[in-house]
Amino acid sequence: MRSLLSDSMLSTLDRNRPNSAEDLFADDVQQRLARWNRQRLAPRLPDRDRTKSIRDEAEMLQLQDRFIEALRGGVAGRADDAPADPRRFISWFEDLKDHGPGQDDPLFAWLEHEASLEEMRWYLRQEAAGEAGFDDLTAYTQVKMPARIKLELARNYWDEMGRGNSKGMHGPMLQRLVDALELAPAIEDTVAESLALANGMTAMATCRDLAWHALGALGAIELTAPGRSAAVAAGLKRLGLAARDRLYFDLHAVLDVKHSAAWNAEALAPAVAEDPNRAGAIAEGALMRLTCGARCFERYRRELW
């Protein structure tokens, strides 16, 4: 990227860098990235001042790159342990369900059995505001992927789209819950950890040199989401939410088990078999996603307990 930017532009960008890796996880940085992602990915008409738009985009891409490198640096050691043999890699990957960052966090037993309605609303507001959209992330990730992998992502995407039925689309299912609980999620009211999770996922899916990271990160979601979804669904039922309103979590508690098995067999294993060098990138992506999730759970507990 640096070769595409002028020396004067790079000098300006360098002056605006945060002073440390931890600054990259601060509220102001993550809110900037979240607003940028919302704006740049939304359909729009051509910008009037394209020179300014390109300059602004370059600045934000530099910020995003530093954020991603901070995430990568935090997981590189563990990712190096991922085997390059496809079968052994899948075994390593599936072990993340039990031993990955953030797994079996006590937050979810508490949400299931103890959280009040207001506490559940706070949790869901954070999750909704930080939701990057699995459907869109999958669509970005599949671009130019090998055919077998592309087909698996297409099958997953079709499920996300309700198999052509608007009532079965997963995004609107979540929105029904948001509307039922009157959550009104907003970037400025969302903790930095939740925004960082969404910003990290968006970066991996939209940057082609992070496409294999995205494949691992999305696979980690499918692998680990069912237990958390089941706990949230049970908590919503305990609190009196109608079945229609909690359907998003009821569905993912079951469907993602099937999705995970297919993703591992039809996307991850073929990717590593075709090029063992991809194993490290896929592992990094999975660990980056799970580490961001673990940071969220820790922050949520600090706020709620």
User: Band of the pLDDT at 13, cuts 50, 70, 90?
Assistant: very low
Q: Give the CA count within 13 Å in the CB-facing half-sphere of 159.
A: 18
Q: Could you tell me the two tokens for 297?
A: 């759970």
The pLDDT > 70 percentage for the chain reads 93
Closest CA to 55 of 9, 17, 3, 4: 9
Span 50-104, pLDDT tens digits: 999 999 999 999 999 999 999 999 999 999 999 999 999 999 999 999 999 999 9
Find the Cα–Cα–Cα–Cα dihedral 202, 203, 209, 213, rounded to 10°: -60
Distance separating alpha carbons of residues 164 and 158, to the nearest angstrom: 7
Span 159-186, pLDDT tens digits: 999 999 999 999 999 999 999 999 999 9
Span 120-153, pLDDT tens digits: 999 999 999 877 799 999 999 999 999 999 999 9
For residue 304, count CB atoms less than 10 angstroms from its CB and return exposed for 0-12, middle for 13-18, buried for 19 or more: middle
Instruction: Write down the domain spans for the chain.
Output: 72-304
Residue pair 208/281 in contact by the 8 Å Cβ criterion: no
Confidence (pTM): 0.91
Average pLDDT over residues 200-223: 98
Look at the domain 72-304 and name its fold.
Answer: Heme Oxygenase; Chain A (1.20.910)
